Amino acid sequence: MITGRTKLCAVIGDPIEHSLSPCIQNAAFKHLGLDYVYVAFRVRYEDLEWAMRGVRSLGIYGLNVTMPHKIGVIQHLDRLDLEAKLVGAVNTILNDGGVLVGYNTDGLGALKALQEVEGDLRAKKALMIGAGGASRAISFTLAREVRELSILNRTYERAKALAEDVRRTVGGDVRAYRLSDETLRAEMRNTNIIINATPVGMHPNEDETPIPRELLRPDMTVFDLVYNPIETRLLKDAKAVGTKTIDGLTMLVYQGAASFELWTGVKAPVGVMMDAAKEELKRRGVIN
């Protein structure tokens, strides 16, 4: 039951109507009997300052931030967690007694999803395709966990700048390459984990894949961040050759689980959150 003591959490973004976060988070609160409720607010780009004043004045306890506010919101916060500072973008805010602290849970969410499948990552080599926002968020976390990280990007300069940033701040064996047939072929040879952090394969280009099927091997894990569709061509190809897979919905749930844990201090019921997301996608006719 919602009472005068119920803690309010929310997601802000534009557009926001299709966000799965309210379903995922409310299912988790309900499952654990926590007195929290989670709603979605459409906040236009130019209204962010007013929305953040509202967060303070209404005492909203936890916030998720999505496009187009992940970078702009930083100037309205009191403190940034190290991860968010490194990445330069925030997706989670905790209102700690009036002090707004910004976090980025994308890296931790991706790491947990990977550890669930791959276990200890210390001996593993990871290959990241893409050097945009999602790649950046994951690279800082992953570089500390794996033996080697290669970042391949269409625009080489972006991969190079990201690899330099990661090496300078968190260290690790991080290399940058221009994305080409040759570099992909060479880098795939001794890779254990592949992450697609590009929109290649996303609706309406569902026939596209960033990695030719013949380069996939059963001893790899393929992680596709794209969640529309959930089973991309890359993941279908990977399953066909017996490769372990992680989809974009899993990433979405794990980063939400990390936000949940920041707000509640309680271990997130990941299975319950995943079921809620799938149920909602079925209701919308997105999956069967």
Ligand X SMILES: NC(=O)c1ccc[n+]([C@@H]2O[C@H](COP(=O)([O-])OP(=O)(O)OC[C@H]3O[C@@H](n4cnc5c(N)ncnc54)[C@H](OP(=O)(O)O)[C@@H]3O)[C@@H](O)[C@H]2O)c1
Give contact residues for ligand X (rule: CB under 6 A): 106, 130-135, 153-155, 158, 179, 197-200, 202, 225-227, 248, 251-252, 255
First to last CA, the chain: 32
What is the nearest approach in angstroms of ligand X to the Cβ of residue 99? 27
Element (H, E) at 22: helix 21-32
What is the nearest approach in angstroms of ligand X to the Cβ of residue 59? 28
Residue reference for tokens 């997301």? 277
The answer to whether the beta carbons of residues 111 and 149 sit under 8 Å apart is no
CB atoms within 10 A of CB 119: 9
Give me the catalytic one of 7, 30, 70, 244. 70
What is the nearest approach in angstroms of ligand X to the Cβ of residue 5? 31
Cβ-based nearer residue to ligand X, 95 or 141: 141
What is the nearest approach in angstroms of ligand X to the Cβ of residue 97? 29
DSSP state of 228: S
What is the nearest approach in angstroms of ligand X to the Cβ of residue 53? 27
3-state secondary structure of 255: helix
Q: Do the bridges between strand 79-80 and strand 36-42 make them parallel or antiparallel, or are there none, so unpaired?
A: unpaired
Cβ-based nearer residue to ligand X, 223 or 263: 223
CB atoms within 10 A of CB 164: 12
Residue nearest to ligand X (CB): 132
Cβ-based nearer residue to ligand X, 95 or 153: 153
**CA angle centred on 192, ends 186 and 193, rounded to 5°:** 100
Q: Give the C-alpha separation, 221 to 3, whole Å.
A: 45
**Could you give phi then psi for residue 205, rounded to 5 degrees?**
-100, 55
Which residues, in sequence order, are bridge partners of residue 196? 129, 224
The dihedral through the CA atoms of 241, 128, 156, 103 has a sign that is: positive
282 flagged as catalytic: no
- For 133-243, list the strands marked E by DSSP: 148-153, 174-178, 193-196, 221-224
What is the nearest approach in angstroms of ligand X to the Cβ of residue 165? 14
Cβ-based nearer residue to ligand X, 158 or 175: 158
Query: Catalytic site residues?
Result: 70
